[in-house]
Amino acid sequence: MTESVRKLLPILAIGALALVAPYVLPDYRIQLALLWIMILFALTWDIMGGQMGYNSFGNILFFGLGMYVCAVVQRDAGLSYYPGLFAGLAAAAVLPVVVAAVLGSGLLGLRGHYFAIGTLGLGIAAGEIASGWDYIGAGSGMVTPLYPGEIGARQTFFYFASFVLATVTFLALRRIYSGRFGLAVNAIRDDEDKAEAMGLHTTRYKTVAWSVSAFFLGMAGGLVGNLNGFIDPRDVAFAGATYGVFMVLMAILGGKGTLWGPVIGATIFHITQEVFWTYLLGWQRVALGLLIVVIVVFFPQGILGWAKARYPERFGIRVEAAAEDADGR
């Protein structure tokens, strides 16, 4: 077996698993679809938080926006199901990007925790505004059109849609990280002032990074709105206190600033959540709080971070004996 084929094998294995999963585990299609969405959440968050060092608590804004935009287009455009869905998703990709570009000019100047809290406020404000606006159903939310097809077809369709979207996101991110963009964004994370001084137009890169997140998140929102069948402004669309924070946690759990870290983190987090929900009836939220504390306190470098520190050679990092910290840390 050649080297390149051997490298590809794990990817192919995952791909094969992903393709057969809905048929092997038909009862879990919604959870599986959500798994892909979670992976997407973690990946898109990581662009900002991990690669660029701008911890955003408001990415959920784009998700919710995409969800509503898609639903409104589906409701008002007068198209039949698939064209309507397609148009909706297209709009769901575009509008959040516009919003990101516009808001970015104001918010991306904020540093560190101010940016984090500012975006958190944004996410929650969006939820509040959405629940007051009658055009999109106010507090009662909206319902997405019924999927044409037999029982169960909807879940399968949206499972694959989520899988495709998540994969595309992953590949797109891999491409941009390996180029100039990735270097620039990392430079911003490492020392923004120096990067700026070296002539890097940081604002532009920050806005692009946020827009990329917005692009994929918006489409994810459109998909989830249709997967669930209904939209609730606070619990589903702008779920700041749940998904909004989970995306951060998943990326951290897996190891932020890496490509596979968010994927691993999202998978583990999502599975753990589902297991809690099934087996800890009534106490699952308590367990979740505990889990979050544990992750953040004991695993801030994430699983990949921990693995890299433990087995640096396996990751192609050379450790020189003299380079070890005197403290042994």
Partner 1 sequence: MNSLELLFQAPILSVQLLIDGILIGSIFALAAYGMALVWGVMNMINVAQGEFVMLGGYVALYAAQAGLHPFLGIPAAAAVLFILGWLLYRVVIFRVVDKDLFISLLATFGLSILIQQLANEVFGADVRTLYSGLGTIVLLGGQVTVSEIKLVGFAATLILGACLLLFLKKSRLGQAIRATAQNARAARILGIDTDRVYATTFALNAAICGAAGALVVMTWIVHPYLGLAYTVRSFMIVVVAGLGNLGAVVAAGLGLGAAENFAGFLLGAEYQAAFVFSLLVVILVYRNYRLGRHRKYLK
Partner 2 sequence: MSHIKSLATAVATAATIGLLASGSASAKVEGDKIILGAAVSITGKYSTNGKNTKDGYDLAVKRINEKGGVTVAGKAYQLDIIYYDDESTPARGAQLAERLINQDGVKFVLGPYSSGLTKAIAPVTEKYGVPMVEGNGADRGLFEQGYKYIFAVLSTSDQYLTEALNLAAEQATAAGKDPKSLKVAIAIENDNFSQDVRAGVVDDIKRHGMQLLIDDKLPPELNDMAATLTKVRAVNPDILIVSAHAKGPALAIRQMKDMQVNVPMLAMTHCDSAKIIENFGKDSEYSVCASQWDRALSYKDNVMGSAEDYAKDFEKEFGYAPPYQAAESTAAVLVFADAFARAGDFDPAKVRDALAATDMQTFYGNVKFDATGKNTAKPMVLYQVQGGEFKVVAPSKWASAKVIYPAPGWSER
HSE (side-chain half, CA atoms, 13 Å) at 8: 7
Burial (CB count <10 Å: 0-12, 13-18, 19+), residue 284: middle
Considering only residues 104 to 133 of the shown chain, the ones binding partner 2 according to CB under 8 A are: 128, 131-132
Of 89-97, 123-131, 154-162, 169-177, the segment contacting partner 1 by CB under 8 A is 123-131
Contact 221, 93 (CB under 8 A): no
Write the binding mask 205 to 244 for partner 1: x where contact by CB under 8 A, - elsewhere. ------------------------------------x---
**CA atoms of 2 and 11, how far apart (whole Å):** 15
The entry of partner 2, partner 1, none near residue 140 (CB within 5 to 8 angstroms by kind) is partner 2
The angle that helices 3-24 and 29-46 make with each other, rounded to 10 degrees, is 140
Contact 231, 141 (CB under 8 A): yes
Residues 6 or more apart in contact with residue 280 via CB below 8 angstroms: 286, 287
Write the binding mask 144 to 183 for partner 2: x where contact by CB under 8 A, - elsewhere. --x----x---x----------------------------
Residues 90-108: b if buried by 16+ CB within 10 A, e if exposed:
bbbbbbbbebbeebbeebb
Bridge partner residues of 94 (DSSP): none
Choosing from 278, 310, 321, 325, the residue that interacts with partner 2 (CB under 8 A) is 278
Question: Collapsing DSSP states into helix, strand and coil, what is residue 298?
Answer: helix
- Asked if 212 is part of the footprint of partner 2 (rule: CB under 8 A), the reply reads no
- Asked if 10 is part of the footprint of partner 2 (rule: CB under 8 A), the reply reads yes
Residues that bind partner 2 (CB under 8 A): 6-7, 10-11, 13-14, 17, 21, 25-28, 30-32, 35, 128, 131-132, 138-141, 146, 151, 155, 228-230, 232, 234-236, 258-260, 263-264, 267-268, 271-272, 274-275, 277-279, 281-282, 284-285, 304, 307, 314-316
Residues that bind partner 1 (CB under 8 A): 55, 106-107, 109-110, 112-114, 116-118, 121-122, 124-125, 128-129, 131-132, 138-139, 203, 241, 245, 248-249, 252, 282-283, 285-286, 288-298, 300
